[in-house]
Amino acid sequence: MSAVAHIFEAAGMATIVLGSIRKQIESTAPPRGLMCDFPLGRPLGKPNDPAFQHRVLDQAFKLLAATEQVLEEFPEAIEDEGSEMLACPLPPRSNADLHPALDEVRGLRPAYDRALEQYGNRAATGRVISADQIEEAMSAFIRVTDGVPWKEAGIPGIPSRVAQDIRGFYELAALGLSDHVPAAWSGTRWYFNSTEGGKLVLAARAAMRDAGESQPIWFYMAPGDQ
Amino acid sequence: MADNDIKSMTEGMEAPVLDTVAFSSPPELGKATVAVVTSASLHHPDQDDFAPQDVGFRVLEGNRRDYQMGHWSPNFDTIGFASDMNTVIPLDRLDELVLEGKVGKVSDVHLSYAGNQFDLSAVQMDSGPAGAKLLREKGVDVVILTPV
């Protein structure tokens, strides 16, 4: 962002960069920077909290008075301890003949559709597959865990991109099942740690890694610390 | 999985070396036109999705709210944006500041780049200046830049 900021300043516009990674905003040195110690993905801090978002913007706009390069810090931090997990009910098994992940996806579909109606599709599915294709994609990942090489398993797109759509399906369904917006990362932890779908994607990723596949093919199917 | 673990993976990345540090003075905020530029790879549903190493940008129309996340990185929270676009692109908040008279105008257009770039030369030489020219021609005075 800082590199772009310098270009925009040179074109005659005043810029304010919001930064979430301290060392990064310090090393890239934007013309005007506001370090906001918030979780990655939430540069304005708190979703559905206009008052908090306004505090961020107010402090950001104050930097416009600076006459030289400036980096300040927003006084309120939002910490993620890495342990909070969304408490979200999962559907009970309804078809014992199905793989648990496929059974789970069918059970979550009403919640997904409900959340889609309420929030729209901002980060859910559609990068490469629609909600209707989630089962097909998961079936392909099941085949990968069974030992089928990923190129022969029928994955309907680049694995990392397909995995993003599956994660998006689950996280939007979680919004449909929850009465509040989950804390940062808590929905992702719920997906990877609690759901059959998340466990399946991690298992497929591990199978691809263990089969010696190229690291970029499997690594980005989940956050890098997984 | 913890936010600080993810941040520590990226904080050591080499920073771009810039020949000059530009610094512009804006007009009074109450008379300024403000735009948002994000590295969140947002796009409208009818625009091309971002490619893995996409150095271009998408023009986001301010009168639409159907922004979608096209970022290739799995290394950030997406539920916040899924539930409230203002978590990344705070246009509702800017509209409110206009009504309060604190901001002159919200730009009709905003820009989105893909933040997952390791080689910034194309952005610095091509798409960055092109985006700046576009916003300047739209009368933008102040730009808020948001990452994910």
Q: What pLDDT digit, counting tens, does each position of B64-113 carry?
A: 999 999 999 999 999 999 999 999 999 999 999 999 999 999 999 999 99
With respect to residue B71, please indicate whether it lies within any of the assigned structural domains: yes
Residue A60 and residue A121 in one domain: no
Structural domain contains residue A104: yes
Q: Which helix (H) or strand (E) holds B8?
A: helix B3-10
Q: Are strands B42-43 and B33-38 parallel, antiparallel or unpaired?
A: unpaired
**ipTM for the whole complex:** 0.95
B53 close to A (CB below 8 A)? no
Chain B residues in contact with A22 by the CB 8 A cut-off are 11
Give the pair of three-digit tokens for residue A114. 């409900």
Cβ-based neighbours of A180, under 8 Å, separated by 6 or more = none
Burial class (CB in 10 A: 0-12, 13-18, 19+), A22: middle
Q: Distance between CA A4 and CA A143 in Å, rounded?
A: 43
Q: Residue A86 domain-assigned?
A: no
The answer to whether A47 contacts B26, with C-beta atoms less than 8 Å apart, is no
Confidence (pLDDT) at B120: 81
Q: Domain for residue A224, yes or no?
A: no
Average pLDDT over residues B12-26: 78
Q: Summarize the confidence of residues B13-31 as an average pLDDT.
A: 83
pLDDT band at B5 (very low <50, low <70, confident <90, very high): confident
Residue B26 lies inside a defined structural domain of this protein: no
Alpha-carbon gap: B148 to the closest alpha carbon of chain A (Å): 4
Q: What is the pTM of this model?
A: 0.94
Q: Pull the structure tokens for residue B104.
A: 């002159």
- Cβ distance B7 to A20 less than 8 Å, yes or no, reads yes
Does residue A214 form part of some domain? yes
Q: State the pLDDT at residue A84.
A: 86
Q: Of all helices (H) and strands (E), which one includes residue B110?
A: strand B109-113
Note whether residue B55 is domain-resident.
Answer: yes
**Site from A15, A35, A119, A169 to mutate, B interface, most B CB atoms within 10 angstroms:** A15
Give B52's pLDDT tier (boundaries 50, 70, 90): confident
Residues of chain B neighbouring A168 (CB-CB closer than 8 A)? 78, 82
Contact in structure between B108 and B60 (CB atoms under 8 Å): no
The answer as to whether B10 is a domain residue is no
The pair of three-digit structure tokens given for residue A105, joined into one six-digit string: 């996806």
Same-domain status, A127 and A163:
yes
Ramachandran bin of A41, using left for φ above 0, alpha for ψ from -120 to 50, beta for the remaining angles: left
Q: Residue B41: pLDDT above 90?
A: yes
Is residue B7 domain-resident?
no
What does the pLDDT read at residue B20?
A: 65
Q: Are residues A133 and A23 in the same domain?
A: no
Residue B145 contacts A where some CB pair is shorter than 8 Å: yes
B33 min Cα distance to partner chain A (Å): 10
Question: Pick from B12, B70, B4: which is nearest to A39 by CA?
Answer: B4
Residues A198, A126 within the same domain: yes
Position A226 in a domain: no
Asked whether residue A92 is assigned to any structural domain, the reply reads no
Residues of chain A with pLDDT under 70: none
B2 is a domain residue: no
Min distance B59 CA to chain A CA atoms (Å): 15
Q: Which residue of B lies nearest to A16 if distances are taken between CA atoms?
A: B144
DSSP string over chain A: -HHHHHHHHHTT-EEEEEES-HHHHHHH--SEEEE----TT-TTSSTT-HHHHHHHHHHHHHGGG-SS-EEEE-S------S--------PPP--TTS-HHHHHHHHHHHHHHHHHHHH-SSSSS-SS--GGGHHHHHHHHHHHHTT--GGGTT-SS-HHHHHHHHHHHHHHHHHHH-SSPPPTTHHHHHHHHH-HHHHHHHHHHHHHHHTT--HHHHHTTS-TT-
Asked whether residue B47 is domain-assigned, the answer is yes
Per the prediction, chain B carries an average pLDDT of 93
Do A123 and A207 belong to one domain? yes
In a domain, A53, yes or no: yes
| Predicted pLDDT of residue A2 | 84
pLDDT recorded at residue B117 = 78
Strands A14-19 and A70-73: unpaired
* Domain assignment present for B15: no
Report the distance separating Cα B104 and Cα A212, nearest Å.
57
Measured between beta carbons, which residues in chain A are less than 8 angstroms from residue B25? 14, 67
Residue A153 CA to chain centroid, in angstroms? 25
User: In terms of residue numbers, what domain contains A174?
Assistant: 100-219
Q: What domain count does chain B have? A: 1
For residues A120 and A109, give the distance between their C-alpha atoms in angstroms, rounded to a whole number. Answer: 15
B143 interfacial to chain A (CB closer than 8 Å) = yes
Structural domain of residue B113, as residue ranges?
32-146
A225 interaction partners in chain B (CB closer than 8 Å): 1-2, 5-6, 9
For residue A179, tell me if it sits in a domain.
yes
Query: How many domains does chain A fold into?
Result: 2
Chain B nearest C-alpha distance from A11 (Å): 6
B69 touches chain A (CB under 8 A): yes
- Residues in chain B within 8 Å Cβ distance of A13: 24, 26, 132, 135-136, 140-143
**Amino acid identity of B28?**
E
One-letter identity of residue A190: W
Evaluate whether A157 touches A125 at the Cβ level (below 8 Å): no
**Residues A116 and A213 both lie in one domain:** yes
Could you tell me if A21 and A120 lie in one domain? no
- Run of H or E including B92: helix B91-99
Same domain membership, residue A179 and residue A69: no
Nearest to A171 among B79, B86, B131 (CB): B79
| Closest alpha carbon within chain B to A170 | B79
Residues A116 and A202 placed together within one structural domain of the fold: yes
Distance from CA of A162 to the nearest CA of B (A): 11
Q: Which of B13, B22, B66 sits opposite A10 (nearest CB)?
A: B22
Out of A8, A44, A167, the one facing B132 most closely (by C-beta) is A8
